[in-house]
């Protein structure tokens, strides 16, 4: 399975800054690369380095109509998006998205021909209470409940421990291994074609820890926040993923 490295620009960028960043990006053999950008920049990203896939950071659970402020999956597809992040912990924590909403967003993405990158992960309190895997089972279970088993095989899962996001403190390789192996096993138990589902790790992935994280069992790529805003760092992480093959 070819690894996927997806940049999550979050609410960052400007036409001018994006142009500079894009100049430093390019596709690499042996790894799939994508950038998930704010909606207004999807138009700008129609011109981008060849082989770099495009994604968004959210999608409406609705198809079209009277939903002021929402952006539908078909609109993202119109702009050539292949991926869309759903259920990022910032959306869950700051914008009240619950597990089933995330499931409906994943369904809307698939129905529009997009690949949802479904984010799951525990808070530090949940980890300290020994509940990391329980939380992840619950989050994934809601998505499976909405999608059904067959469609679940068409998603990308991103394990992003909330405490590792933007903190400069990535999960350890042991912690990542435990969760990724558990996610793959959970998918298999549910009857999902688990071998084909890419499981990304996200949370303070940087050039200096990327190789170690991509070498972990069942890590099929990364979801990169802060480091995706620095071309050199993002490319170094993509190179680490290509070389980990
Ligand atoms: P980070 O963010 O790489 O800045 O920790 C990851 C994410 O939120 O997807």
pLDDT per residue over 99-112, tens digit each? Answer: 999 999 999 999 99
Closest CA to 86 of 61, 72, 106: 106
* Mean model confidence pLDDT for the chain: 98
Q: Is the whole-model pTM more than 0.95?
A: yes
85 three-class SS? strand
The domain made up of 3-244 is a member of CATH 3.20.20.140: no
pLDDT per residue over 194-215, tens digit each? Answer: 999 999 999 999 999 999 999 9
Residue nearest to atom 9 of ligand 1 (CA): 225
Closest CA to 21 of 40, 5, 4, 37: 37
| CA 76/CA 67 separation, integer angstroms | 16
Say yes or no to pLDDT of 185 above 70. yes
Q: Which helix (H) or strand (E) holds 232?
A: helix 231-244
Mutate to test the pocket of ligand 1, among 205, 210, 229, 236 (most ligand atoms within 8 A of CB): 205
Alpha-carbon distances of 198 from 3, 10, 116, 153, 232, rounded to whole Å? 8, 21, 11, 9, 25
Q: How far away, in angstroms, is 75 Cα from ligand 1 center?
A: 25
| CA 95/CA 89 separation, integer angstroms | 9
Query: What residues does each domain of the chain span?
Result: 3-244
| CA 44/CA 199 separation, integer angstroms | 29
Specify the DSSP class assigned to residue 43: T
Q: How far away, in angstroms, is 191 Cα from ligand 1 center?
A: 30
| CA 138/CA 140 separation, integer angstroms | 6
What percent of the chain is modeled with pLDDT above 90?
99
pLDDT per residue over 85-139, tens digit each? Answer: 999 999 999 999 999 999 999 999 999 999 999 999 999 999 999 999 999 999 9
Cβ(226) – ligand 1 distance below 6 Å: yes
Q: Which residues does 35 contact at the CB level (< 8 Å), separation at least 6?
A: 6, 7, 9, 25, 45, 48, 52, 53, 54, 55, 228
Residue nearest to atom 6 of ligand 1 (CA): 225
Cβ(223) – ligand 1 distance below 6 Å: yes
**What is the pLDDT, as a whole number, of residue 207?**
98
| CA 23/CA 1 separation, integer angstroms | 28
Cα Rg of the chain (Å, integer): 17
Query: How many CB atoms within 10 Å of residue 20?
Result: 10
Say yes or no to pLDDT of 153 above 70. yes
Specify the DSSP class assigned to residue 80: T
- Identify whether the C-beta of residue 127 lies closer than 8 Å to the C-beta of residue 176: no
Say yes or no to pLDDT of 53 above 90. yes
| CA 103/CA 61 separation, integer angstroms | 9
| Residue 221 phi, psi (nearest 5) | 145, -165
Q: Which two tokens stand for residue 20?
A: 């500079």
């Amino acid at each position: 399975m070819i690894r996927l490295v997806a940049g999550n620009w979050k609410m960052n960028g400007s036409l001018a800054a994006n142009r500079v960043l894009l100049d430093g990006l390019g596709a690499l053999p042996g790894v799939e690369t994508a950038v998930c950008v704010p909606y207004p920049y999807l138009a700008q990203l129609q011109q981008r380095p060849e082989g770099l896939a495009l994604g968004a950071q959210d999608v409406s659970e609705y198809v079209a109509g009277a939903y002021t402020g929402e952006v539908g999956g078909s609109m993202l597809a119109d702009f050539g998006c292949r991926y869309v992040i759903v259920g990022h912990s910032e959306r869950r924590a700051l914008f009240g998205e619950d597990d089933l909403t995330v499931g409906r967003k994943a369904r809307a993405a698939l129905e529009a021909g997009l690949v949802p990158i479904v984010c799951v992960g525990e808070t530090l309190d949940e980890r300290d209470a020994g509940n990391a895997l329980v939380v992840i089972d619950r989050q994934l279970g809601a998505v499976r409940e909405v999608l059904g088993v067959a469609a679940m095989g068409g998603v990308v899962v991103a394990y992003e421990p909330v405490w590792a996001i933007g903190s400069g403190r990535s999960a350890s390789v042991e912690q990542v291994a435990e969760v990724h192996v558990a996610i793959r096993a959970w998918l298999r138990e549910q009857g999902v074609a688990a071998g084909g589902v890419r499981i990304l790790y996200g949370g303070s992935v940087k050039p200096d820890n990327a190789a170690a994280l991509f070498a972990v069992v069942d890590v099929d790529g990364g979801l990169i926040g802060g480091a995706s805003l620095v071309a050199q760092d993002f490319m170094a992480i993509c190179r680490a993923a290509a070389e980990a093959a």
